[in-house]
Amino acid sequence: MKTQHDGNENINGDGNGNGGRRGISRRTLLARTGAAAAALAAGPVLGGIQPAVAASWRVPGEETPHKRTWMSWPSSYTIWGNLLSKIQADIAKLAKEIAKYEPVVMCADGSSAASQARTMCGSTVTVIGSVPVSDCWMRDTGPLFRLDGAGGVDAFGLNFNAWGENATSFYGIPASAYDKDRAVARNLTAYAGVPFAQAAVVGEGGGIEYDGDGTLMATESCWVNSNRNPGKTRSQIEAELLARFGASKMIWLPGVTGQDVTDGHIDGTARYIGPGVVMVQLAGAVRPDVWTENAQAMHDVLVNATDARGRRLQVLTIEGPDVLPRISRGKQSQFLSSYMNWTVTNGAVITAQFGDTAKDAAARTAIASAFGRPVVQLNLDNLYGNGGGGAHCVTMQEPNH
């Protein structure tokens, strides 16, 4: 495993400086140092997984200022086959757009992949070859950064296991193909010099939403699932997530099990705009009924929910596209037609456009109004279609500290 720094890897400044398999889709089956660091290094439990730290540590909301965005460069032919170059093109397009608003650090799997990423991403994106990666899903594999309100930063990992090993059961991708991604959270924080601990649950960042003000939202289908947390009750999982995120209330949403590789990640359907405000995408005409019904069920829970501060949530809605003119009819049911899978940057919200002129425009207007910042819509059809994930799935923000 490569650990030495390649050239062009200084990230400490804040300058803006499947073997031929076709149609693979992630959705196919359809610090403080001292006392805080010492606490993180407390005696191991559950086979070496460390207990959560209480106190004032919290994961800030994604709309708060960022130090940078972390991404990872896909370079595995075993995972992507002949689609690899198309996925790389979309990752590069997105990285260059984010870099207009905040620093981007792209982790690539060694010097050869790093060289390719630098060529495709250009000089505005910092590429490092010192944090080995398997694939591009940094939201699910990367660390979640916490602040203590007094200048301290630490991070934790969610023990990524390739979506409950669904990558193998759905697509036949060898479990070993994701070995480097299982260690990304730890390796990235070691590189960045941030204290780190593993959570006592298994899951992914795309399976949970947080407002930074005490409330979490998550889908039961992801977390209360034997492919991730066998033998654990919902209450046990909830307690650990609340402690890790520095929150006090969980809003559980139903989700969908077994219809996609993620078991129904929340970040394609319901997202926080900020404390007390959420947005839900009600499915357009191209989404299969199971996702349409799930979106409505999520909406119905949220309109009756209160958060950790006792506020009744303000629930905004948008609608998904009704047509996907660039996508063949046979692939539309597998396409992640979600405007919700946006990534928030310091200067803009970046999401997708799908070629449905009216719905694209309506989503852009609604998201811009909700956030009070510009919205950039990109054509990322290969990522959202062949990848089944979007801009949020392939990014992880590091908050200012």
CA distance 31 to 44: 19
Which alpha helices (H) appear in 128-253, and where do they start and end? 138-141, 162-171, 184-192, 220-223, 234-245
Of 385, 391, 395, 314, nearest to 86 by C-alpha is 385
> Under DSSP, is residue 327 helix (H, G, I), strand (E, B) or coil?
coil
DSSP letter (8 states) at residue 49: B
Catalytic-role residue among 121, 136, 222, 393: 393
CA distance 132 to 76: 12
> Under DSSP, is residue 288 helix (H, G, I), strand (E, B) or coil?
coil
Helix then strand count (H, E) for the chain reads: 12, 16
DSSP letter (8 states) at residue 12: -
> Under DSSP, is residue 4 helix (H, G, I), strand (E, B) or coil?
coil
8 Å CB contact between 204 and 262:
yes
Q: For 232, phi and psi rounded to 5 degrees?
A: -100, 140
CA distance 245 to 155: 10
Active-site residue flag, 393:
yes
8 Å CB contact between 178 and 167:
yes
CA distance 225 to 233: 9
8 Å CB contact between 324 and 332:
yes
CA distance 205 to 30: 22
Catalytic (active-site) positions: 393
